[in-house]
Chain A
């Protein structure tokens, strides 16, 4: 018999946190829904927020989203998808966008108790053994798992069901809870952002065993998002490679030779600059397209870094009387050459590691594909006769 008296009201502290988060989300939605012309009439803070929330959809982002959507198909064997890109390229933006795309796709079929998409950030703090605990707890919280602190471990041994003494906070127990949650909530996509932090936990084999065990749960697929450092993790283990794919989130390439006709990457970059210029949160708009080459060079061809630079310029411009644009705004916003060089070196070496390892880079000989597709050419007809 249970006679415990429990308050009928939820914890007010939690309620306050939920309300704060919900209010912020509501405000952001209101800001984003404001049309451009109406936004120009608002305060400087409002306009800064509007520009910050502005998300430009570009060719590479759409390509990556499309690849992920293909791999997320339940008929596809791939269980582990890693999206690798240089620092600041906009991986978190991509993760949010992916979350929205996948959520929209699964929303119709999902039962009320299901949670098809879970997004978490890998923890960066704490000692080695604790980090797994933090990650598991984050996954449980993101999956809205109730009463995490009240849980107790149990095990089955020799046909008997036992509780486990002091099993409340062990890593094994938390992992069991996560696995149970993924199975019961029918989580289709578990997105782990900042996957780089996983490398700090322990040896790679332990990490991969853990990730593989999570990905083995049906119907869950694991999406890791991180910088080039996680490439080693993903390419080292054959067992993992068999059921995993790497999607390279590439930056736009700046041609070394200056020509009149921009390359395809350059044209796409210019297009994105034009979009940002059109949505500049001040009446004093800069002519960004005119300086596309230095901007592309200063951002290493990354739309994410470009957006960060321009956000910094907006902050300074809107704080200046008369919202006048100054040269100093750009000087402060641009990365210092030393730092930029460091980022570029890391990016280039990371990109080299990924050559021939990514999704869509499978080897297809020119002469045999037409045979599969049933396209008869004179060359292959000759080959057949031979």
Chain B
């Protein structure tokens, strides 16, 4: 018999497999370079990799995970403010894709929260680099990020040549960037270039960066490349912004801002004309420029920084880092690009005269305010005239509404008459075939048709249709008239 081992050899305690992160650990493209991917683009790519519509991924998958949820849920005071601000109720991830994810990639706290939420969900680190959050100490939000996506067709083609689906660069979302610094072509708005008839069924649309959501063309091949020549000033600005984005991380340090202002103050003090002249050359308003340069926490727009750097032949990136370093700037770029606000002076008597004329011509208060470049509150100072204007507008709108309702009702009655005579059922589809146009359920004529049909058949108004009392009265009398005319018995 063999020698037996009396020691029990049994397996150790089974080690449970650790649960992976909620979402795939997809790395952002071009991190740390001028071509870094925007956080919004990364989120869309992650959703596509998971075969999930982005809204489902945000509102169901991410919202359902407690640790990810916590990153984006405001706490304490912030929550109260949020609730008070949105009277319709605050929801998790509310407005996450508003203006193409603008808040997600800007300088505000929302960008930081989204970066943290995605880091928690994917396990990928350094996602703050896909936002402009690091510029928060230097640059104000004003006009920083565009409300819509823009694309460089050549960059998208390059992505596709590498055998991958394209992505959106963070640089393209900067309002001051008008062209691609790499290909020297203007950025184009990411809107479908095909005719509406070629657009996809909304149900079949897939949201992916660098892909037309209208027709689905990957790399926006539906757009025609621009032949417009890029302005040297725009190109210089785009190059400056690209350099800034590639070296954005050190700007996280708030002390850099103090350093920059200190350097500028010291340099301007030695210049002829001093600070005032320096501000004028950069196209800045004297008082706001003075506030910005003296106040420790005051920030200004990126456009103002670019104008300042151009006027004094500096590089924006080194300027924000607090270093005065001369750089070559094309002459045409030295002209300030920002348009200063124009002020119009109008006397109150002129405003009064214009308001009287507007009442006669049937112009609304908002239309007049826009023409005169004044605020509505300025018009409202003339209480009586303003009340007259309001009343005139209301009366005009009511008469227009009545006219519209009457037209819709006549059209519906005419179609009902024709359909009944032809022996066809009174439906929206048949009405469409009869008139050669689509009768969408939300249309007033469709509502009138459905109410007439219900009154003729069931002698009651369906509960799901909500129409005003005046229109309802008119529809009832039309139904009675049609019943007699078409010889339809009681329901």
Contacts and interface: CB of A to CB of B under 8 A. Distances in A.
Interface in B425-471: none
A11 B60 CA distance: 11
A104 interface: yes
Contacts of A55: 10-11
Interface stretch (B214-222, B273-281, B371-379, B407-415): B214-222
B33 interface: no
Interface in B176-225: 200, 203-206, 208, 211, 215-219, 221
B206 to A, nearest CB: 5
A17 interface: no
A94 to B, nearest CB: 11
Contact of A11 (B23, B53, B64): B64
Contact of B50 (A7, A146, A153, A267): A146
B214 to A, nearest CB: 11
Given A10-B64, A270-B2, A165 B204 contact: yes
Contacts of A130: none
Interface string B41-65: 0000000111111011111110111
Interface string A151-191: 11110100111111100000001001100100011000000
B2 A4 contact: no
B9 A112 contact: no
B22 A146 contact: yes
A8 interface: yes
Contacts of B23: 113, 146
Interface string A1-45: 111111111110000000000000100110011001000000000
Nearest to A267: B2
Interface stretch (B86-94, B133-141, B282-290, B356-364): B86-94
Q: For this complex, into which size category does the number of interface residues on chain A fall?
A: 35 or more
Contacts of A267: 1-2
Contacts of A113: 20-21, 23-25, 122-124
Contact of B217 (A8, A99, A160): A160
Q: Is the interface of B mostly helix, strand, loop or mixed?
A: loop
Which of B50, B66, B215 has the most chain A CB atoms closer than 10 A to its own CB? B50
A100 B18 CA distance: 11
A36 B9 CA distance: 12
Contacts of A3: 88, 91, 94-95
Contact of A161 (B56, B88, B206): B206
Contacts of A96: 14
A97 interface: yes
Contacts of A126: none
A147 B52 contact: yes
A99 B69 CA distance: 32
Contacts of B51: 151-154, 173, 176-177, 180
A57 B216 contact: no
A75 B80 CA distance: 58
B206 A159 contact: no
B14 A100 contact: yes
Contact of B61 (A9, A54, A150, A152): A150
Contacts of B6: 274, 278
A30 to B, nearest CB: 9
B203 A151 contact: no
B95 A275 contact: no
Given A152-B51, A160-B218, A161-B208, 11 more contacts: A4-B55, A25-B16, A32-B13, A111-B25, A111-B123, A147-B52, A150-B52, A154-B206, A177-B51, A180-B50, A184-B49
Interface of A: 1-11, 25, 28-29, 32-33, 36, 54-57, 96-97, 99-100, 103-104, 107, 111-115, 117, 143-147, 150-154, 156, 159-165, 173, 176-177, 180, 184-185, 262, 267, 270-271, 274-275, 278-279, 289
